[in-house]
Amino acid sequence: MQQQPWAWPENIWRDKVNHVRAGRTLKPAQWKNGTRCAVAFSFDSDHETNELRDGGKSIGRMSQGQYGNRKGVPRILDALAKHDAKATFFVPAVAALLYEDEQRRVAAEGHELGIHGWIHELNSQLPYEVERDLMFRAADTLERLGGKRPVGMRTPSWDFSPDTLRIQRELGLLYDSSLMADDDPYELVEKGEPTGIVELPVEWIRDDAVYFNMHRFNGLRPHTAPTDVYDIFFREFERAYQEGGLFLLTMHPHITGYRSRIWILEKLLAEITQRSDVWIATHAEIADFVKAECLR
Ligand SMILES: [Zn+2]
């Protein structure tokens, strides 16, 4: 019989905590070209894959996913282009295959494509071999569509399994962006061993889905006004700026792309680009920079 957690000997709880751990901070003294703050916008182009992962029965939820392609991504790309800002799009392979032209446009406009699973599967439900196979096939798919081998990953739903880091090392990735041990970049440590993989940390606080998601048949409803969401995001940026750190934001085309919400991104871009000492870059560029600066 499995022991209950309160009966575990010390080595068991220590091993669990140390399986994947934050190591050295990778917050540089200053950012590229002497800037004081780095900003990383990410857009998780899940589109229909959340519903497909759940069985693909709801045509209505599927249509919400399609909105992400038809309206969300174009509005986001236009906002980024207006401010000449480059960003990272994490795309499940199935969403990429459904919308190949979208991925080609994202790549052609200078943005990064990052791995986001095959069909937005939950890694912690998969055996190692399956998780590994899906991640490698996802990397192959994005490479074919975007013309570049992806160097980074965001686990779908930020569901990081006990095998995920091992597979990321096998893939030779530069960075992950799914964990939450810091505000600023850090090095991932696996069972006490520094991996050289850069973590660009996320947080639910800096994720549009938390505030806006809605589900017809359960109690999930949007609970924060768009103006309040903007306020939270801007405060996160403002403090990162004061501290000389990283502001990393996660948005979803099928959540933020709406007429009443896209202004949040547009206003953030307008405010942030007014400051000449902020570096807006893709996740790959930021990971590359901190690795060179801090892991020499
Ligand atoms: Zn996602």
- CA separation (Å) from 266 to 60, 78, 163? 28, 10, 38
Reported as a pLDDT band with limits 50, 70 and 90, residue 71 is very high
Token readout for 7 is 């009966």
Alpha carbon of 262 to ligand 1 centroid (Å): 18
Alpha carbon of 156 to ligand 1 centroid (Å): 5
Three-state secondary structure call for residue 236: helix
Instruction: Round to whole Å and give the CA distance between 219 and 230.
Output: 24
Alpha carbon of 26 to ligand 1 centroid (Å): 25
Alpha carbon of 235 to ligand 1 centroid (Å): 24
Alpha carbon of 177 to ligand 1 centroid (Å): 12
Alpha carbon of 44 to ligand 1 centroid (Å): 5
Over residues 27-51, mean pLDDT: 97
- CA separation (Å) from 205 to 53, 145, 233, 235? 24, 32, 8, 11
Q: Does position 163 have pLDDT exceeding 90, yes or no?
A: yes
Alpha carbon of 33 to ligand 1 centroid (Å): 32
Phi, psi torsion values for 216, nearest 5 degrees:
-60, -40
Which amino acid, one-letter code, is at 185? P
Question: pTM for this structure?
Answer: 0.97
Which amino acid, one-letter code, is at 232? I
Alpha carbon of 13 to ligand 1 centroid (Å): 30
Alpha carbon of 89 to ligand 1 centroid (Å): 10
pLDDT for res 225: 95
DSSP per-residue codes, 91-119: E-HHHHHHTHHHHHHHHHTTPEEEE--SS
Instruction: Round to whole Å and give the CA distance between 231 and 289.
Output: 29
Alpha carbon of 155 to ligand 1 centroid (Å): 8
| pLDDT tens-digit readout, 128-146 | 999 999 999 999 999 999 9
Residue that has been written with the tokens 């990272």 in this structure: 88
Which amino acid, one-letter code, is at 177? S
Count other C-beta atoms under 10 Å from residue 7's C-beta: 8
Q: Does position 1 have pLDDT exceeding 90, yes or no?
A: no
List % helix, strand, coil for the chain (3-state, nearest 5): 50, 15, 35
pLDDT for res 2: 80
How many percent of the chain have pLDDT more than 90? 95
Alpha carbon of 17 to ligand 1 centroid (Å): 25
Count other C-beta atoms under 10 Å from residue 246's C-beta: 23
Instruction: Round to whole Å and give the CA distance between 148 and 186.
Output: 25
Alpha carbon of 168 to ligand 1 centroid (Å): 18
Over residues 48-70, mean pLDDT: 96
pLDDT for res 61: 92
Alpha carbon of 256 to ligand 1 centroid (Å): 13
Alpha carbon of 104 to ligand 1 centroid (Å): 19
Over residues 166-184, mean pLDDT: 98
Alpha carbon of 237 to ligand 1 centroid (Å): 22
Over residues 268-277, mean pLDDT: 97
Instruction: Round to whole Å and give the CA distance between 286 and 200.
Output: 9
Token readout for 117 is 């699973």
| pLDDT tens-digit readout, 189-224 | 999 999 999 999 999 999 999 999 888 788 888 889
Alpha carbon of 102 to ligand 1 centroid (Å): 16
Alpha carbon of 10 to ligand 1 centroid (Å): 35
Helical axes 262-273 vs 226-243, angle rounded to 10°: 30
Reported as a pLDDT band with limits 50, 70 and 90, residue 186 is very high
Alpha carbon of 260 to ligand 1 centroid (Å): 21
